[in-house]
Amino acid sequence: MRILGIDPGIAIVGFGFIDKQGSKCVPVQYGCIQTEAHTPEEERLLHVYEGIVQLIDKYKPDAVALEKLFFNRNVTTAMTVSQARGVMVLAATQKGLPIAEYTPMQVKQAIVGYGKAEKKQVQEMTRMFLKLQAIPKPDDVADALAVAICHAHSYTLNSKLNEVLRK
């Protein structure tokens, strides 16, 4: 199973593709889509949308996992990132891909085993899970890979639960 993990943003969208092979997660490709500051918002949204579509077409994931947005201060930023997230959901939906969403706490719980873990702990565990030489940069990329790993673990658990419930 190939999973596309996304850390939504408008300036930087982190993405990470992993393959779930048995109990292992193997990195396929990761990086970020960046938009230029001071560019009209609609152009930035189009750039994000087209970038996600190109990635889906190239790497052909079986599922998309996104981090749920959490903002407690800047409403303007929250609205802009929500719009960017919307074009990501649109791109995945147009390609017929199932979409899963995870809160930052769920991702931390899945990666570190503690829902209030520090960002550095999540990044280091993500590096270790994927056997990477270094923590991916910028942070948005490491976050996207963590979301993909979270989905890989959650999908496996949910599949097993569904099997048991069917019996």
Catalytic residues: 7, 67, 140
7 labeled binding residue: yes
Q: Which uninterrupted H or E stretch holds 107? A: helix 104-112
43 labeled binding residue: no
Task: Give residue 25's Cα distance to chain centre.
Answer: 14
In the DSSP assignment, the letter for residue 69 is P
Beta bridge partners of 102: 67
19 labeled binding residue: no
- Per DSSP, which regions of 50-157 are E strands? 63-67, 99-102
Question: Which amino acid is present at 164?
Answer: V
Binding region for Mg(2+): 7, 67, 140
Binding region: 7, 67, 140
